[in-house]
Every structure is written in C-alpha cells, then in structure tokens.
Structure 1
C-alpha cells in the first residue's frame, strides 16, 4: 500500500458485501484509508481497500481496531428484517452493534454513522400523515421480528448520549432501492407479478441507493450528530409504483394472516415476510426535512428514474 493511502484517516465500513456499502466505499476511498468488513463474506474491492470476513463477537474483530486505530466507523452491516432467523438477526444487529460501539469507544474512534430503518416506527392505521424523528418507535410492540431493529437503535442512542466523543449520527432511511439492492421491496419491484393486499395500497417513499450512499457520505463528512430520517419529499401509491415498474399487481386477501402466504406460495410468487405485512397495508411516510436542512441534502434521482431502472431490468431478463 502506498504511503499516500497509509497517511489518510482510516475508516471502518461494515456490511461490505452489500451494494449500498460498496457505493459508500467508492465515494470515500479517495480521501480515506478504507477497511471493509462483513460477517458473511470477504469482498474484493481493490488493492487500496483491506477487506475481511469477521465475526464481531470474535477476538479477530478487536485485533482490527488495534491494528488500524480507526478514525471513524460507518456501520451498514445490519441484517435486514427479511433475512436470516430472528435469533441470527438479534445476534448480528444488537449484540454485534454493541460490540462495535464498545470497541469504537475503547479505541478512540471520533465519528460513527449507524444505519437504521424507517421500519422502527411500525405500520398501523393510526400513524400520523408525516412521521418525524420524535415519533415513538412502535415496531417492537407490533412484531417481535422487528425488535432487533428497535433495540439496535436504542443501543446506538444510548452511546450517542453517553459517549458524545463518538459523534454518532443515526440515519433512518425510507425504502432503499436500485441496482444491486436485494431487500423485500426491491425484489417486489423487480418481479413480473407482485402481491398487493386486497383493499389496501399504502403510500410509500423510495430513495435510490446512489442517493442513499451520498447521504451517508455527506453525513460522515459533516459533524452533525443526532437521529435523522432520510427520505424525499414525494411519495407514491404502492400499486402505482408496481405498475410504473412494469409489474402486474395481484390482489390477495389479507385475512386470515396465513392465507396470503399460502396463496403466494401456491402461485410461486414473491412474498412479503409476515412481520412486514402491515407495511403493505398502512402508510409509513417519514419526514426527511431535518436531514435535508441540516446537511443541505436533496436526492438527485426522482421516482421516474427509479421506476425506469426496474422497467429496463425486466426487459433485459
């Protein structure tokens, strides 16, 4: 590694196997010595990026802190609610984050970004029309499968106030979509046929992964701590979003709860995880104005650009 890279501030990025983390790394690698880690796989990102597959709970993870003396951490290594078992998500998201923040505090890290999710607000019929950062996190009370998302946030918030020298910023984005993204909503938009709950079609927000990567980069470079929603100030009906992507909406009954899962399995269609089902019934529209104003940020890719990507992706398949 060249001396110029060695002399740069050193940055740890978790979740390196994901498309979003790789876009963030691409944006930061010119100014920082980036170390990429993932507990699922080791990813080759070029000779200037050291990459490791490491379990946050094992000694080897602390060895990285001793070796590199990180100046900052961008924590994107969260297992999504549609991935893994409930216990594996809890171990990775909550216990892993606790270990990461504890080591960051012990080894003098001075800037931390933590990626959360709008799912922490929960989806129900009584949500306000526009949810700001002060709204209570109701997911833990609505679904045990989303408890780890709320606990990850609560843990990061404890460090935010108890350890101000870490300069923690917590980001709650809306639906992240775009090239390489493999979450539930992105998979549905990419399908030829996708389920909609009969009688429901909630308003939704989408942010392109490249805009979200820019939001994370912007947040890291600016010393504004706190908790921020990240979302555009436009939204669209879920059914309309599917049709704009060239996907055919297939209505399925929402009750009893096991019926839509059974029907979708029989039809060999993509399914929403049971614990995300309410997000396809009730709108969860978050207010991203505080982040936009504090960081002077505005998404560059509008809904039409996002939907065009999925239309073209379908034509190529």
Structure 2
C-alpha cells in the first residue's frame, strides 16, 4: 500500500514517548503527520514532522497540504511542565484552534488525551469515580485549570459537532520507559517524598498499554468520554517500596508546610498543586472503556515496578 492511498492522521505531541508509541503502532496502515510545538523530532523518512505553535497561522497550512482523516491530540503540556500561562496557551487556546480547524476541514475522527487529575483529589471522592462525576480539579488548584478547560472545550465540540466523532480519554497515571511525568520521576528516584500519615490508593497504566488504548479508541469510532485504567490499584507508599525507593516523610500539616519543604528542596516531581493527590485517593472506574472497546492491559503492576526498581535513571 502506498502512502498516497493510506488514510492520513495528524498526531500532536510527537516529541513525547506516548505519541511515539502510538505512531509506531499506526505507521504501517496510515500516513502520519507528526507535530509538536516544543521541538521537531525525526520519526523516519516516511513521517513528515513539524515544530509548529498551534496558535500560529502556519498551522492551518498543514490542513491545506494534507487530507487528514483524523487527529490524535496528545500534545497536552502536563501540570509539571512549563508556566501556568504557557500551559494555558498551549492546552486551551491551541486545542481550540485545533478543533476549529478539524471542523473547518471536515475531520471525521478526533482523539483527545485528558487526565484523571480533572476529578480532583478529595477526602470525599467515591471509591470508584466514573465518567459522570463532577470535575473538581479546578476548585482545588488553579494549576489544573487548563486541564479542566481543555476537557470543557472537547465536550462542547463533542456535542456541537457530532461529525467530528470526538473521544476524550482520561487515563490514570501513565508510567514506563520514556515517561517523564511527576509520578514516573518519583518511581524512578532513589529517595521519594511521602506525606506523613498518608498513602492513598493509586492506579498505574504502562505506556505500552496506554498506546494500545489510544489506537483501539481511534479504530473503533465511539464518541464520548472514557476513563482508562486497569482493574487494580495500590497504595502510593507500597508502590514506592516495590520500585526500590527510600521513602522520605514530609510533615503534612499545616498545609503550607509540605509545599514549602518541596519548594525549598526543589522537588519538581512533588509539585504543590498536586499535593492533594498524595493525600487522598483518586481511583477511576475504567469499566466502560474496557467493555466498549474490549480493552485489557497486558502489563501488570509487578512488571511496572520491576522496571523502576532496575532502572533508577530511565531514559
């Protein structure tokens, strides 16, 4: 099959490990175009790659040049990266531009990667949080406002333009080789902070399984919002122990104290605006995605933690 006959897909966030895993799974059957506003990455001679700010006019040139069937939007800046304003410009304004162009150029399939952080961490969270639960993340931290607004945008376009066939995925903690988010950095460290008296239940999904989930979602056109998580969970401190980390207790009260200590010790992997996630459990219910798409993670927790135990400085 020649590239000209293959359906064309725009993949954003191409510099990230997850996007590259997704690209590797799709490249044989689709003509992919990779975009990242942070850097241009080489993914092979068969995949055009661009470093473009979504808010610039030249971004639309890609939609004129290629006939995209779909978009896999993985280019969200995580809460642990960049300044609040830069995250907002990229995650919210950039995503709005992307969705506007998708509608303008007749895109028929859109996947948007969100995060379980939108639910917020609270002592009053239910044992299992389903997709109908309120998004309380913004009420707990202004640093998560861009994640909430990205979701709100996606939901507006989901119902306003059903022809876009938008699917929003809210995964739990994505971990594994190449992942550089806050929790992965903690699992990879030799000494990891914990809040004294707290060890909330957490969920982890291997990057390979998350890439499979995204591909599965793209190939099976079902609109809506879906949690993505395995059926098991584990206490945070136990996860650190299994990953070979020495736990460093930090006083949890008064509330300003752990934030101050993390800032003084320059613990970027323990950001103040995610502090509540290290106190209260946020366990999401992934059954709807599992049943709708036939998803079953292949990488168990013991394999995830063994990787971090054996690779304290993962690439």
| TM-score over 0.5 for the pair | yes
Residues 268 and 105 of structure 1, relative CA distance in 2, 3 Å threshold: closer
- 1:249 offset after TM fit, Å? 1.0
Number of aligned residues: 315
Displacement of 1:271 in angstroms is 4.3
Please say if residues 188 and 270 of structure 1, whose CA atoms lie closer than 8 Å, have aligned partners that are also in contact. no
Distance between the aligned counterparts of 1:269 and 1:74, measured in 2? Answer: 32
Provide, for residues 164-211 of structure 1, a one-character-per-residue CA deviation record: whole Å limited to 9, x for no partner.
Answer: 000000000000000000000000000000000011100000000010
Deviation at 1:259, TM superposition (A): 2.3
Which SS does the other structure have where 1:31 is aligned? coil
Aligned to 1:162: 160
Could you list the per-position Cα deviations for residues 44-94 of structure 1 after superposition, in whole angstroms to 9, with x for gaps in the alignment?
Answer: 000111000001011110000000021100000000011111111110000
- Alignment deviations for residues 234-268 of structure 1 (CA, whole Å, 9 cap, x no partner): 00000000000000111101223342244345556
Say whether the 8 Å CA contact 1:215–1:297 is kept in structure 2: yes
> Residue 115 of structure 2 contacts residue 172 of structure 2 at CA under 8 Å; is this kept in 1?
yes
Query: Which residue of structure 1 lines up, in the alignment, with residue 250 of structure 2?
Result: 252
Give 3-state SS (helix, strand or coil) of 1:194's partner. strand
Question: What residue in structure 1 maps to residue 133 of structure 2?
Answer: 135
TM-score, structure 2 normalization: 0.97
1:315 Cα deviation from its structure 2 partner:
8.3
Asked if structure 2 preserves the Cα contact closer than 8 Å seen for 1:45 and 1:51, the reply is yes
The answer to whether the 8 A contact 1:189-1:247 is kept is: yes
What CA distance in whole angstroms lies between the structure 2 residues aligned with 1:289 and 1:118? 15
Residues in 2 aligned to 1:271 and 1:209: alpha-carbon distance in whole angstroms = 19
How far apart are residue 314 of structure 1 and its match?
A: 2.3
Within the candidate set 170, 174, 177, 1:176 is matched to: 174
Aligned counterpart, 1:202? 200
* Secondary structure of the structure 2 residue equivalent to 1:36: strand
Question: What SS does structure 2 have at the residue aligned with 1:11?
Answer: strand
Residues in 2 aligned to 1:252 and 1:17: alpha-carbon distance in whole angstroms: 34
CA distance in 1, matches of 2:164, 2:297: 27
Tell me, in whole angstroms, the C-alpha distance in 1 between the residues paired with 2:72 and 2:313: 35
What are the equivalent positions in structure 2 for 1:6-45 lying under 5 Å apart? 6-45=4-43
Structure-to-structure mapping, 1:235-250, within 5 angstroms: 235-250=233-248
Distance verdict in 2 for CA 1:308–1:90, change over 3 Å? same
* Structure 2 unpaired stretches of 5+: none
Find the residue that maps to 2:311 and give its secondary structure: helix
For the aligned residues, what is the CA RMSD?
1.4
In structure 1, the gaps of 5 or more residues are none
Residues 178 and 314 of structure 2 are in contact (CA less than 8 Å); yes or no, is this contact kept in structure 1?
Answer: no
CA contact (8 A) 1:194 1:269 kept: no
